[in-house]
Chains A and B, each alone.
Chain A
Amino acid sequence: MHELSIAESIVDTVTESMAAYPGARVLEVRLRIGVLTAVIEDSLQFCWGIATEGTALTGARLAVTTLPVVMHCGRCARDVELEGVQSFRCPRCGEPATDLRQGRELAVEAVEIEEAG
């Protein structure tokens, strides 16, 4: 249950970034979250309400894009998306997935803001 810590870190990250946009109100925060982070979106949404309470982000929506694992397959000489997280092998040729290129992201991609004028 680390979603509360994650939600608080999102609030900090966005609040810091918004210092450059005085007077702007955040309507939506867009996240990119890799499946290997084991962040549960429902829990995160629940914690988001708690973490934003009493902050400038109160009422802002949280939009989550979940990213699958992508490995670089040396044998196929290309990046390949894994079908799930139950087998870390190239789905095309079976090569072990030792070089992951995606799946651990925990990032604020963008925010939608409302500005005066």
Chain B
Amino acid sequence: MTTRIVELRRGILKKNDELAAELRAQFRAAGVMVLNLVSSPGTGKTALLERTLRELRARGARAGALVGDLETDNDARRLGATGVPVRQINTHGICHLDAEMIGKHLDGWAEVAGENGTELGGLDYLFIENVGNLVCPSSYDLGERIRVVLLCVTEGEDKPLKYPGLFNSADAAVITKTDLAAACEFDRELALRNIDEIRPGIRVFETSAKTGAGMEGWLGYLEQLRADS
């Protein structure tokens, strides 16, 4: 018996990365802007999306959402009430979404979207609400154009420092539930400084899905993304 070293140099998530690249090409061809929302559980991803979907719809934009959770379709029902096409992805214990799950749940999307035209139902935006988790989603490309990380005022201002892998992978950040900031003694300057320390130069939005504060800036950013694509 002889032993030897064989060089492989292969990415462990190569399959996911390849699938994500295919999805990205498909999204681009369909002209749909895809955003992946990541955060810890309870930061208000669903609430931000509910308000965003309603506002986009009111402005004549066509948006849809894929929402990931370990169990229940509660979020899909909440988002579905906004009148836009929504699909729930249940991961049954898996702590993140991957490109294969996204691909599977896009099958037949045209019928769900109720629109004629492209395979993705002529959507302008597709929002992917990831499983609430600040660690695992960072390594899994879903084919999105923009990754948005949420930080809630009820969390510590040091979340970016504690989870640099995820915050550093984001293209934009949203500080949520700003209506609760005073009650939580939220140190805004410190949070902004920490975000910038981990992801220098990132765009940061400060919103309250409850009062609507800051939504205008966030929606303007979404419209700008579409205009630039």
A112 CA to B4 CA in the complex, in Å? 6
Find chain B residues with CB under 8 A from A115 CB. 1-4
Q: How many residues of B contact A (CB 8 A)?
A: 36
- The total of interchain contacts (Cβ-Cβ below 8 angstroms) comes to 117
- Check if A110 is an interface residue, CB within 8 A of chain B: yes
- Check if B61 is an interface residue, CB within 8 A of chain A: no
Find chain B residues with CB under 8 A from A65 CB. none
Q: Which of B95, B161, B169 contacts A86 (CB 8 A)?
A: B161
Shortest C-beta distance, B47 to chain A (Å), equals 26
On whether A87 and B197 interact (CB within 8 A), knowing A9-B12, A14-B8, A106-B13, the answer reads yes
On whether A2 and B10 interact (CB within 8 A), knowing A37-B139, A38-B138, A98-B200, the answer reads no
Shortest C-beta distance, A54 to chain B (Å), equals 20
A14 CA to B6 CA in the complex, in Å? 11
- Check if B210 is an interface residue, CB within 8 A of chain A: no
Q: Is the interface of A mostly helix, strand, loop or mixed?
A: mixed
A38 contacts B165, C-beta separation under 8 Å:
yes
- Check if B31 is an interface residue, CB within 8 A of chain A: no
B6 contacts A21, C-beta separation under 8 Å:
yes
- CB within 8 Å of B: which residues of A? 1-2, 5-6, 9-10, 12-14, 17, 21, 27, 31, 35-39, 85-89, 96-98, 100, 104, 106-117
**Which 7 pairs between the two chains have the least Cβ-Cβ distance?**
A96-B200, A2-B136, A85-B164, A38-B165, A36-B165, A106-B12, A114-B3
- CB within 8 Å of A: which residues of B? 1-16, 94-96, 98, 135-136, 138-139, 161, 163-166, 168-169, 197-201
Supplied contacts A10-B12, A17-B8, A98-B201, 9 more A-B pairs, CB within 8 Å: A13-B8, A17-B6, A100-B168, A106-B13, A108-B8, A111-B5, A111-B8, A112-B3, A112-B4
Query: Could you jot down 18 A-B contacts, CB within 8 Å?
Result: A13-B12, A13-B14, A36-B169, A37-B138, A37-B139, A38-B165, A39-B139, A85-B198, A87-B198, A106-B11, A107-B9, A107-B11, A108-B12, A111-B5, A114-B1, A115-B2, A115-B3, A117-B1
